[in-house]
Amino acid sequence: MAYWVKILYERKEYVVNFECVHAFCYELNGRVTFWLPDSAIPIVINPHSNLEDYQKILDYLESVTGLELDHAHWVKILYEKNEYVINLNCISSFCHEPNGRITFWLPDGTIPIIINPVSNPESYEKVVKYVKKATGYSLS
């Protein structure tokens, strides 16, 4: 099912299928960033200058967050003072390090997410459970 939205960014109009966007980042200053599908181009929406498009993003995330659909498994993960909303089904690899940290890379971006079991136990547990459920493998 497509979820097409028109977004205005840097005086350009983008028509984006949010079903193909795999990660969103809430920043401390209130901005939301997402990466265009099939590219590493970030779109940064500021609620103060573009409230209408900001609300479109919030509406979409509300519709998918917490739902475990057959095709999507969205989770909220806190990382470096930002909150990421990520479809873990779109992550193609997970790296478990000897010190216990888990690293994975956001699709359509170049950002690694590194989760420490001590400093971020809730997000760590979400990823460990997802990997076990999706792959049958344990990260230990």
Task: Quick: pLDDT tens for 65-103.
Answer: 755 544 458 888 888 889 999 989 889 999 999 999 999
pLDDT value for 80: 86
Please give the torsion angle defined by the CA atoms of residues 102, 87, 69 and 127, in that order, rounded to the nearest 10 degrees. 10
pTM higher than 0.85 for the full model? Answer: no
- Residue pair 17/90 in contact by the 8 Å Cβ criterion: no
Burial class from Cβ neighbours inside 10 Å (0-12, 13-18, 19+) for residue 104 reads buried
| Mean pLDDT along residues 39-47 | 90
